[in-house]
């Protein structure tokens, strides 16, 4: 069910009487069968479309959009980048009640801005399943001969249920690296030579671990819901058209390149910027850019969006005629990237090649545009080139509030956080209306994070000072620092979070609350983050000499472990512990152990101690039992090739275990082992 009706009505705006229209939309949210890969699976859709139908309105209009939830789970709609009253923002339990199964909700808010935005579900991982669409807000009086504009909405798709994607990441951070063949094994380090070897040693010595670009192996990358998308140019005499690029993915960054010459960026996140020309543009998750591209009457020109881990791309062909293809974007070489390069956003595979004004672009009368367009940026991966069209300096003579946020995470356990705490551990950031707020974002992890603030635009402080650009989403590169500033001109509560849905849902989220008007209830933190729950991780080794089971159940802070091994003859060892995780590197535990060795009688102990990660990423366990026996155990693993790995453990009781492992799939491996208790053997390992 889809309806768009316009009513003209009188509206009071800033005490002026203006004509506006009531723009009405009405959609169902329902399941939809899709086939992107050759396999039919159930997706989620608004208005039976993926992406959802485009919503359009003009400044001065009132948008009234009704959604009927036909699903058997609750749903929600958030208006990403749109300025609106707090209760229309669509974050379930925080701003707007979730739309319960079988229920409907009508949003209604005035349109007070122009630009390219998008809307999407803020419930569970429904964005990954298809609930996203474009919203285009236009000038009240758009000139009649204005340029043709087209939406290109990028997204990522997996046939797998996103909930099980997250469970798999909780079992093993490299779960999808295996599938993508991007396991950062030593054979690849060695193949990349001395610098890669030095990087790997320095990364493991400082316990950072290797850099990582994308956690998930996607089956397809889409543009407007297709791997290959076509746009028609309406006017054969047109020299250029406007593309409204939207990264509506769940966790992907794209390098976007147009085969018909540089793209001219004229807006970022819906806000106008001084025009700049770029050959290749990196778009972080949830960002939008408006770009002008040249079109030809004879050619069908490719706009290619390549996932920045190099795992795939979508194509959009603009115009009709012979195809002109965009170049392949080589995957970045992670082995040659040092922390400094990452923080600076330098991409080791693409050496900048400044082309000057090699290609003749249609001439413009705008002087500012002329000046800024002399140069072509080979690959724009940060915000240094963006210049706002007017000063964005915040009102002077107001109080400043500075907030320091470290982007933190535990890649091993797949927990993401700010300042080491997830949303339910540290939920609110309090501000006051009328302040200038500065947030200093420092990324201590080895991944990029696209951070999004609801309900406000912030300045991304760059080399252009007063003219630093306004955005609603900003990438913070690994080990990098980004400063954002905004005018605290709202009320109540607004979400601030990583827009990688898997990071947001596992804890990298805060609520920014206006002290005087906040209605936030701390008990809802848990409801906002349904994935801050218990995840299990199990490994079973069936071997000729003994059987070994490792089981753990943990949330972001607590864990229960069971470790058992036995030869089913005369020896066994069972250990059950509770662990409290203080940080990525330090945890404490207490529990019981029962063991029996050959002819001896079985004995039981109470045990307690701590785990600490040593340089070179060696895990150490320091423990004492109730008889005062002290033991240190060291343990680590090495990945030689994508399939071949080795793990070892050794302790001060002179017990050891070595295991060579050959993976035949992510979950199954052949093993060879040598154990001080059980001798040598062969077997199979299963991860579940």
Q: Which stretches of the chain bind Cu ion, using CB under 5 A? A: 449, 498, 500, 503
- Residue (189 or 415) nearer to Cu ion, CB: 415
- Residue (454 or 467) nearer to Cu ion, CB: 454
Quickly list DSSP for 340-405.
Answer: HHHHHT--TT------TT-SPPPP-S-HHHHHHTSSEEEEE-SSTT--BSS--PPPSSS-EEEEEE
Q: How far is the CB of 254 from Cu ion (least distance, A)?
A: 16
What is the C-alpha separation between 358 and 345, in angstroms, rounded?
A: 26
Q: 228-231 and 271-283: which strand pairing?
A: unpaired
Q: How far is the CB of 411 from Cu ion (least distance, A)?
A: 11
- Residue (286 or 607) nearer to Cu ion, CB: 286
Q: 322-324 and 240-247: which strand pairing?
A: unpaired
Q: How far is the CB of 92 from Cu ion (least distance, A)?
A: 20
Q: How far is the CB of 283 from Cu ion (least distance, A)?
A: 15
Q: How far is the CB of 279 from Cu ion (least distance, A)?
A: 27
What is the C-alpha separation between 381 and 456, in angstroms, rounded?
A: 23
Q: How far is the CB of 40 from Cu ion (least distance, A)?
A: 31
Q: How far is the CB of 231 from Cu ion (least distance, A)?
A: 31
Q: How far is the CB of 503 from Cu ion (least distance, A)?
A: 3
Q: How far is the CB of 498 from Cu ion (least distance, A)?
A: 3
> Are residues 637 and 619 in contact, defined by beta-carbon separation less than 8 angstroms?
no
- Residue (373 or 411) nearer to Cu ion, CB: 411
Quickly list DSSP for 270-285.
Answer: TEEEEEEEEEEEEE-T
Quickly list DSSP for 155-222.
Answer: EEE-SS-HHHHHHHHHH-TTHHHHHHT----HHHHHHT-HHHHHHHHHHHHTT-----S-S---SEEE
Question: What's the residue count for the chain?
Answer: 688
**To 5 degrees, how large is the angle CA 296–CA 297–CA 301?**
45
- Residue (337 or 498) nearer to Cu ion, CB: 498
Q: In the 8-state DSSP scheme, what is residue 505?
A: H
- Residue (71 or 508) nearer to Cu ion, CB: 508
CB atoms within 10 A of CB 13: 12
- Residue (123 or 500) nearer to Cu ion, CB: 500
- Residue (509 or 671) nearer to Cu ion, CB: 509
Q: How far is the CB of 474 from Cu ion (least distance, A)?
A: 12
> Are residues 558 and 578 in contact, defined by beta-carbon separation less than 8 angstroms?
yes
CA–chain centroid gap for 242, Å, is 27
End-to-end CA distance of the chain: 42
- Residue (495 or 498) nearer to Cu ion, CB: 498
- Residue (372 or 460) nearer to Cu ion, CB: 460
Quickly list DSSP for 28-71.
Answer: EEEEEEE-SSSS-EEEEEETTBSSEEEEEEETT-EEEEEEEE-S
């Amino acid at each position: 069910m889809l309806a768009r009706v316009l009513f003209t009505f009188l509206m009071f705006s800033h005490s002026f009487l203006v004509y506006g229209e009531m723009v009405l939309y009405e959609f169902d949210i329902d399941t939809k069968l899709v086939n992107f890969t050759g396999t039919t699976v159930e997706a989620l859709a608004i208005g039976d479309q993926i992406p959802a139908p485009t919503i359009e309105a003009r400044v001065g209009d009132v948008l009234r959009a009704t959604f009927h939830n036909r699903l058997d789970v609750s749903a929600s709609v958030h208006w990403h980048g749109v300025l609106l009253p707090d209760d229309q923002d669509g974050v379930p339990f925080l701003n707007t009640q979730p739309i319960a199964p079988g229920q409907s909700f009508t949003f209604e808010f005035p349109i007070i801005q122009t630009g390219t935005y998008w809307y999407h579900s803020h419930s569970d991982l429904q964005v990954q399943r298809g609930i996203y669409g474009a919203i285009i807000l236009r000038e009240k009086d758009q000139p009649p001969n204005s340029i043709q504009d087209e939406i290109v909405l990028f997204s990522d798709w997996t046939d797998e249920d996103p909930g099980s994607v997250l469970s798999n990441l909780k079992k093993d951070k490299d779960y999808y690296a295996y599938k993508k063949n991007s396991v950062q094994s030593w054979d690849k380090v060695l193949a990349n030579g001395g610098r890669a070897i030095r990087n790997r040693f320095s990364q493991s010595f400082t316990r950072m671990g290797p850099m990582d670009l994308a956690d998930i192996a996607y089956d397809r990358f889409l543009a407007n819901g297709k791997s290959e998308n076509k746009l028609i140019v309406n006017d054969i005499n047109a020299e250029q058209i406007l593309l409204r690029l939207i990264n509506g993915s769940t966790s992907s960054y794209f390098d976007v390149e147009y085969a018909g010459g540089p793209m001219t960026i004229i807006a970022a996140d819906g806000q106008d910027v001084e025009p700049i020309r770029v050959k290749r543009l990196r778009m972080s998750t949830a960002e939008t850019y408006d770009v002008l591209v040249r079109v030809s009457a004879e050619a069908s020109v490719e706009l290619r969006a390549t996932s920045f881990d190099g795992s795939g791309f979508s194509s959009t062909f603009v115009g009709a005629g012979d195809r002109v293809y965009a170049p392949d974007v080589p995957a970045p070489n992670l082995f040659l990237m040092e922390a400094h390069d990452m923080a600076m956003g330098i991409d080791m595979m693409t050496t900048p090649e400044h082309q000057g004004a090699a290609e003749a672009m249609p001439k413009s009368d705008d002087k500012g545009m002329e000046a800024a367009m002399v140069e072509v940026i080979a690959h724009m991966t940060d915000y240094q080139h963006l210049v706002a069209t007017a000063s964005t300096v915040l009102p002077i003579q107001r109080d400043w509030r500075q907030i320091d946020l470290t982007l933190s995470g535990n890649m091993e356990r797949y927990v993401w956080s700010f300042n080491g705490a997830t949303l339910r551990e540290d939920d609110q950031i309090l501000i006051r209306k009328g302040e200038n707020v500065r947030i200093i974002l420092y990324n201590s992890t080895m991944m990029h994070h696209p951070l999004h603030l609801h309900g406000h635009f912030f300045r991304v402080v760059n080399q252009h000072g007063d003219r630093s650009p306004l955005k609603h989403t900003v990438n913070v590169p690994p080990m990098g620092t980004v400063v954002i500033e905004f005018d605290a001109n709202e009320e109540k509560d607004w979400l601030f979070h990583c827009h990688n849905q898997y990071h947001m849902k596992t804890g990298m989220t805060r609520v920014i609350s206006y002290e005087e008007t906040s209605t936030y209830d701390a008990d809802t933190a848990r409801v906002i983050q349904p994935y801050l729950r218990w995840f299990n991780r199990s490994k079973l080794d069936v071997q000729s000499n003994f059987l070994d089971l490792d089981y753990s159940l943990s949330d972001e802070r607590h864990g229960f472990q069971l470790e058992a091994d036995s030869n089913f003859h005369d020896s066994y060892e069972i250990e059950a512990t509770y662990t409290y995780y203080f940080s990525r590197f330090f945890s404490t535990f207490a529990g019981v152990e029962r063991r029996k060795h050959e002819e001896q009688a079985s004995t039981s102990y109470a045990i307690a101690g701590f785990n600490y990660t040593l340089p070179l990423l060696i895990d150490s366990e320091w423990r004492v039992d109730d008889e005062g026996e002290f033991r240190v155990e060291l343990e680590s693993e090495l990945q030689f090739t994508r399939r071949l790995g080795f793990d070892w453990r050794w302790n001060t009781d002179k017990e050891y275990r070595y295991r060579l492992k050959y993976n035949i799939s992510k979950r199954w491996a052949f093993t060879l082992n040598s154990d001080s208790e059980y001798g040598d053997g062969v077997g199979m390992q299963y991860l579940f």
